[in-house]
């Protein structure tokens, strides 16, 4: 039986839940939210959908005890308004550091021993805090990291070169935030190396880094892209796919959680690969890792 828990039923958490239900990915889904009224409303809305859908997962609301034997728990708590109002990627840190401690301690108390996938921001810092408070092995705590930023990079390049976005390969590395960077040495268009001007590089990096704000300005939050990233990771875990995905992972060289490619399977993070980065890219990776670690140290 494939059992998933989701903690936090905001725009992202609900979108992940709905996707898992409609795609038939879960047999049992446990949803947690501090707003009891919201949790009840989502339960009935999901139940209405189940009256039509061919998939019939069992849905449980607001029971931490029911999370004990979950295969995967997804954390999506937070308040995006704190980031939007201050135009600050770390706007949710204070709130979510407290949430991570509370959630982590509760999961430890029920002896949860599955895989923890974090979406909550700042993603890399919260991953580290959740691992600390749950005591879970590092390979079983990961985050969506720069998976969404990598998707935004592919979208920007696809539009720039008028090609299909799935014909763009490469990675955005580092923080899921302002210190991220496109590792241009890994990028290919139509699976071929390409040349790009400095002006084009800056323009595309700006579009990638600020992609979230473009969406937020229009609708107040992001949901579909990040939910799709989370579901892809869930699928890789359930299928033991050993799929190479860019996630928030404990990267040994930098000794902190950071957006970097990792092999994802049934046990979580199976391995990381060593990218042949340029010297400049290695320096950028070290810089963003140091910034993330400082935030972690400050939050513990």
Residues that are catalytic: 176
Q: Is 81 labelled as part of a ligand binding site?
A: yes
Q: Is 13 labelled as part of a ligand binding site?
A: yes
Asked if 260 contacts 173 with a C-beta cutoff of 8 angstroms, the reply is yes
Q: Is 96 labelled as part of a ligand binding site?
A: yes
Q: Is 121 labelled as part of a ligand binding site?
A: yes
The kind and range of the H/E element at 4 are strand 3-7
Q: Is 33 labelled as part of a ligand binding site?
A: yes
Q: Is 35 labelled as part of a ligand binding site?
A: no
Q: Is 155 labelled as part of a ligand binding site?
A: no
- What b/e sequence results for 115-146 when a residue is b if at least 16 CB atoms lie within 10 Å of its CB, and e otherwise? bbbbbbbbbbbbbbbbbbbbebeebbbbbbbb
Q: Is 11 labelled as part of a ligand binding site?
A: yes
Q: Which two tokens stand for residue 38?
A: 């919201």
Alpha-carbon gap, residue 2 to 285, rounded angstroms:
36
Q: Which two tokens stand for residue 102?
A: 């509370």
Q: Is 185 labelled as part of a ligand binding site?
A: no
Among residues 15, 47, 48, 17, which one has the least CA distance to residue 30? 17
Helix axes 279-299, 123-134, angle to 10 degrees: 50
Q: Is 119 labelled as part of a ligand binding site?
A: yes
Residues making up the annotated binding site for substrate are: 81, 89, 121, 152
């Amino acid at each position: 039986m494939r059992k998933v828990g989701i903690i936090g039923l905001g725009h992202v958490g609900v979108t992940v839940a709905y996707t898992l239900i409609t795609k038939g990915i879960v047999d049992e889904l446990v949803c947690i939210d501090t707003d009891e009224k919201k949790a009840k409303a989502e339960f009935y809305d999901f139940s209405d959908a189940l009256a039509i859908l061919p998939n019939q997962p069992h849905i449980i609301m607001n029971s931490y005890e029911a999370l004990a034997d979950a295969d995967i728990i997804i954390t999506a708590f937070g308040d995006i308004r704190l980031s939007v109002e201050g135009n600050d990627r770390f706007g949710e840190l204070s709130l979510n550091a407290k949430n991570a401690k509370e959630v982590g301690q509760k999961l430890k108390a029920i002896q949860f021993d599955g895989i923890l996938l974090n979406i909550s921001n700042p993603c890399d810092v919260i991953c580290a805090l959740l691992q600390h408070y749950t005591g879970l092995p590092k390979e079983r705590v990961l985050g969506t990291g720069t998976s969404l930023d990598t998707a935004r990079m592919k979208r920007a390049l696809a539009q720039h070169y008028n090609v299909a976005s799935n014909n763009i390969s490469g990675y955005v590395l580092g923080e899921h935030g302002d210190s991220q960077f496109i590792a241009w040495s890994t990028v290919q268009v139509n699976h071929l190396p390409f040349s790009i001007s400095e002006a084009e590089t800056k323009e595309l990096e700006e579009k990638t880094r600020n992609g979230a704000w473009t969406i937020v300005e229009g609708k107040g939050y992001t949901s579909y892209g990040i939910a799709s990233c989370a579901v892809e990771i869930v699928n890789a875990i359930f299928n033991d796919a050993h799929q190479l995905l860019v996630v928030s992972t404990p990267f040994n060289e930098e000794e902190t959680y950071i957006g970097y490619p990792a092999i994802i399977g049934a046990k979580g993070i199976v391995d990381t690969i060593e990218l042949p980065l340029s010297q400049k890219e290695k320096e950028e990776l070290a810089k963003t890792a140091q910034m993330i670690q400082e935030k972690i140290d400050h939050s513990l």
